[in-house]
A and B are shown apart, each in its own frame.
Chain A
Amino acid sequence: SSELTQDPAVSVALGQTVRITCQGDTLRSYYASWYQQKPGQAPTLVLYNTNYRPSGIPDRFSGSRSGTTASLTITGAQAEDEADYYCNSRDFYNNQLVFGGGTKVTVL
């Protein structure tokens, strides 16, 4: 099975911009989705098909892809954006899916 690699942690000053990356060979063929998870809660989808936002997700969340790397950008980070973020995509093999290891975002 394939892997998706994320940086373990990033920090951002309140109101500034932060980019989270997700790297994996499958991203050359399949779209990335991104999830936000706060302590004690189930994950919430924030982006899918690289850059589509579900209803209710603020437009400060955006996404992009270049080669085998997908990115989630938070423009003007808010205190409530402090959370763990996971990327996810389909794998090449046997109808498998894969998650990245997660990135903890701290808003200073």
Chain B
Amino acid sequence: EVQLVESGGGSAQPGRSLRLSCTASGFTFDDYAMYWVRQVPGKGLEWVSGISWNSDSAGYADSVKGRFTISRDNAKKSLYLQMDSLRSEDTAVYYCAKETRGYNYGLNGMDVWGQGTTVTVSS
């Protein structure tokens, strides 16, 4: 079964850090670009960050650039999001998602999603 499982969410104070992880199974992880997408409860989806299959390229939303860092470990079939200098507006459910077609970035949609992990930033 193709599956993504996020972990690492929780509560943090403003200015602190959290690291999210996403573990993949059921597909050849190192063939696919991966993404983080977040959603404030009751609001829409916001793309946060993406990384190519070989880590050669990455992108960030303007709202997180310079504070968040995406990375992956293909040997461990894992995707990460290091979130530094957290702000209250980073409070959301964070999903990891897989590019639909291999060796593409941002061109074919996201066909597999995790169930999400909740991040709450509050003093």
* Complex interface: chain B residues within 8 A of A35 (CB): 45, 109-110
Q: Given the known inter-chain contacts A54-B100, A95-B57, please indicate yes or no for A102 contacting B105, CB distance below 8 A.
A: no
Residue A97 at the chain B interface, CB threshold 8 Å? yes
Q: CB within 8 Å of B: which of A35-60?
A: 35, 37, 42-45, 47-49, 54
State whether A48 touches B109 (Cβ < 8 A). Answer: yes
Residue B66 at the chain A interface, CB threshold 8 Å? no
State whether B100 touches A96 (Cβ < 8 A). Answer: no
Q: Given the known inter-chain contacts A43-B113, A48-B100, please indicate yes or no for A31 contacting B44, CB distance below 8 A.
A: no
Q: How large is the interface on B (under 10, 10 to 19, 20 to 34, 35 or more residues)?
A: 20 to 34
Residue B14 at the chain A interface, CB threshold 8 Å? no
State whether B113 touches A95 (Cβ < 8 A). Answer: no
Q: Given the known inter-chain contacts A54-B100, A96-B60, A102-B44, please indicate yes or no for A44 contacting B107, CB distance below 8 A.
A: no
State whether B45 touches A99 (Cβ < 8 A). Answer: yes
CA distance A55 to B59 in the complex (A): 29
Among the listed B59, B110, B114, which residue makes an inter-chain contact with A96, where contact means beta carbons less than 8 Å apart?
A: B59
CA distance A46 to B111 in the complex (A): 9
State whether A42 touches B59 (Cβ < 8 A). Answer: no
15 A-B contact pairs sorted by A residue (CB < 8 Å): A30-B106, A35-B45, A43-B113, A49-B108, A54-B100, A84-B44, A86-B45, A89-B106, A90-B106, A91-B106, A94-B59, A95-B50, A96-B60, A97-B47, A97-B106
